[in-house]
Amino acid sequence: MTRRFWVYIEQENGKPHQVSWELLGVARRLADEIKDELEKSGDTALVEGVLVGHHVEHIAREALHYGADTVYYVDDPAVKHYLNKPYTTVLTQLVKKYQPEVMLVGATTLGRDLAGSVATSVGTGLTADTTHLAMGSPKEGEKKLLMATRPAFGGNVIATILCRNHRPQMATVRPRVFSMPERIAEPKGQVVREDIAITPEMINAEIVEFLTDKASTVNIEYADVIVAGGRGLGNPKGFALIKELADELGGVVGASRACVDAHWIGYEHQVGQTGKTVRPKLYIAAGISGAIQHKVGMQESDFILAINRDPNAPIFEIATLGIVGDLYEVIPAMIREIRARKEAKHG
């Protein structure tokens, strides 16, 4: 028997979403976690990607570099852009054909839309927004299952979810929750083109127009440096100061939910449970108290600097370094100091 660990390779406009590679890394680790069972049973485990789009063979080949043993892809002009029904139908057919044991999908807007539909259509369970995945036995001696752990109640509780009797065991995972696997220079896997006809019955909606291209303006998920502001800014103008520091450090602007709800700044800047998960090398949290909903979105950052007037703010519990002080004094001083050091370097 072949135990297949599947990853949905997401693409838009012929570009793969990086979360797909992160998930291939996770799938490989999960496959390794059942090695003991494979040795006993003589089964094999495969990490496989599945991809839908038009002119996407290059993406299928790229997936091999991130550890896929096989990538199945469907290439048809009718599925150039993501649409719920044709993508769901194609994925459902492939799942039925290959019967994967596990299927991981990026928890992006498109990925969540697709995963919920495929799970319903296949008739299996799906765990959303998982933050930890492992293959483990719920009881000693029992066959290993996907243990999908996720936050609930706004991050106040974490729950481990099982899908015992239905396959595949599906989970969505947010971008940046797991790190990137190393790129393999000379991969051994293969790509397989699947001939699935896209029929008119599969099309029940059409894209009539693409609007704003936000991609070029903000993409906080993959930023290395984020300077984020919270309610402590006191007013929307505070974000000008946040932006000035972010620009000085080559970073982008983040925000807590309170600021987004108050319309001080756009949703695309929101970090946290209902915003984006980020893991930059440097996260500066200014005037953010550190509610659990915010912390779950940024606690994996390599270095967290918190600036807050309140010495008891929960943000200090996860900060690598904290400054208790007025952000309107600290940040301008920081900008001056950085400029001085840059000049010293060039001068």
Partner 1 sequence: MFHALVSIKQVPDTTNIRIDPETNNLIRQGVPTILNPYDAHAVAAAVEWKRKLGGQVTVITMGPASAVTSLRECIEMGADRAILISDRKFAGADTWATSYVLSEVIKAIHAEQPIDLVFFGKQAIDGDTAQVGPGVAVRLDLPIITYAVKIHEVDLQNRKVVIERKTESRNEVIRASLPAALTCEKEIAEIPYASLPDLVYSLRYEPELWTTEGPISFDPTQLGLRGSPTTVFKTGTPEKHKGGEVIKTAELGVEGAVRTALDKILAVEGMASLLGVSK
Taking CB under 8 A as the rule, does residue 326 contact partner 1?
yes
Say if residues 132 and 29 touch (Cβ distance below 8 Å).
no
Chosen residue from 68, 227, 296, 298 binding partner 1 by CB under 8 A: 296
Residue 70 within binding range of partner 1, rule CB under 8 A: no
* Distance (Å, whole) CA 261 – CA 117: 29
Give the C-alpha separation, 258 to 294, whole Å. 10
Tell me whether residue 67 or residue 229 sits nearer to partner 1 (CB atom). 229
140 in contact with partner 1 (CB under 8 A): no
The owner of tokens 């000049």 is 343
Q: What is the footprint of partner 1 within residues 115-134 (CB under 8 A)?
A: 115-117, 119-121, 123-129
Distances (CA, A) of 295 to 186, 259, 281: 39, 15, 16
**Contact call for residue 32 and partner 1 (CB under 8 A):** no
Binding of partner 1 by 183 (CB under 8 A): no
Among 35, 97, 193, 342, binds partner 1 (CB under 8 A): 342
Q: Which residues contact 181 (CB under 8 A, 6 or more apart)?
A: 21, 22, 24, 25, 28, 66, 67
The contact mask relative to partner 1 for 11-30 (x = CB under 8 A, - = no) is: -x----x-------------
| Strand pairing category for 225-229 and 252-255 | parallel
184 binds partner 1, rule: CB under 8 A: no
Q: Of 42, 77, 109, 197, which one interacts with partner 1 (CB under 8 A)?
A: 109
Residues in the chain: 347
Nearer to partner 1, 70 or 273 (CB): 273
With binding defined as CB under 8 A, does residue 316 bind partner 1? Answer: yes
| Interacting positions 198-237 with partner 1 (CB under 8 A) | 204-215, 224-225
- The DSSP output letter for 234 is -
Of the two residues 29 and 81, which places its CB atom closer to partner 1 in the complex?
Answer: 81
Residue 7: CB atoms within 10 A of its CB come to: 32
The CB-side HSE value for 252 (13 A sphere, CA atoms) comes to 20
Report 257-276 residues binding partner 1 (CB under 8 A).
273-274
Considering only 52, 91, 110, 233, the residue that binds partner 1 (CB under 8 A) is 110
From 88, 256, 277, 289, residue interacting with partner 1 (rule: CB under 8 A): 88
Q: Is residue 197 near partner 1 by the rule CB under 8 A?
A: no
Q: Which residues on neighbouring strands pair with residue 245, listed in sequence order?
A: none
Residue 301 CB, shortest distance to partner 1, in Å, is: 11
What's the rounded Cα separation, in Å, for the pair 19 and 16? 9
**Which distant-in-sequence residues (6+ apart) come within 8 Å of 44 by Cβ?**
1, 2, 3, 38
Rank residues 41 and 234 by Cβ distance to partner 1 and give the closer one: 234
Q: Token pair for residue 204?
A: 């029940």
Task: Please identify, using beta-carbon distances, which residue of 29 and 309 lies nearer to partner 1.
Answer: 309
